[in-house]
Chains A and B, each alone.
Chain A
Amino acid sequence: KAGVTQTPRYLIKTRGQQVTLSCSPISGHRSVSWYQQTPGQGLQFLFEYFSETQRNKGNFPGRFSGRQFSNSRSEMNVSTLELGDSALYLCASSGAAGNTDTQYFGPGTRLTVL
């Protein structure tokens, strides 16, 4: 079974631009969560989607948004990029919502904002 895939793997943008990151979950998984990882901060929760509905949202500004499609693929968008948005963005999928299911992580998208 193919794992979680994320595209692109690396991205360089400049301040003020916007970016869209994509996550394809494991086949059959309906829950997708997004995390931001910066040095010293650990994994910060961004969003959780299940069956196209946002179930939970982390404490991030409105510039961060996301969505999930009917095939469970998910995208997150960051508008008006700031230097502090430079980070590794990870998505994880699981079979069900509720968080007792194991989450399977993708390889991440490394975003650099110049």
Chain B
Amino acid sequence: ILNVEQSPQSLHVQEGDSTNFTCSFPSSNFYALHWYRWETAKSPEALFVMTLNGDEKKKGRISATLNTKEGYSYLYIKGSQPEDSATYLCACNQAGTALIFGKGTTLSVSS
């Protein structure tokens, strides 16, 4: 079964800090990598879907990169705001397999 690892498990930053998280996955037979944001009392919300090595995606202050050869993706948040507080999930699958989620990184941003 595909194993998706996320680090750190949690972190706490001050408003205005920039931060990044890591998602690691097996590089063999890679198909797609998803990032989601899950705020308390809400449903997970899709941020990015990436498929190609070297992909970079950006949405506002949040961006992500993908390295399929070494099996990792980074999620960056520039100038963190309290509303960025959430759990960030990555999920990965190989061709024909289900999307497997990591346990997430919980971000807390203090004002």
Contacts and interface: CB of A to CB of B under 8 A. Distances in A.
B31 A41 contact: no
Contacts, number: 60
Interface stretch (A12-20, A66-74, A75-83, A94-102): A94-102
Contact of B101 (A35, A101, A102): A35
Count class of interface residues, chain B: 20 to 34
Nearest to A6: B43
Interface string A33-56: 101000011111100100000011
A25 interface: no
A48 B100 CA distance: 11
A45 B103 contact: no
Contacts of A102: 34, 46, 49
A93 B42 CA distance: 16
Contacts of A55: 98
Contacts of A92: 44
Nearest to B91: A43
Given A102-B46, A105-B43, A105-B44, A48 B98 contact: yes
Given A102-B46, A105-B43, A107-B43, A42 B51 contact: no
Given A42-B89, A42-B103, A108-B43, A100 B97 contact: no
Contacts of B26: none
A59 B31 CA distance: 21
Interface of A: 3-4, 33, 35, 40-45, 48, 55-56, 58-59, 90, 92, 98-108
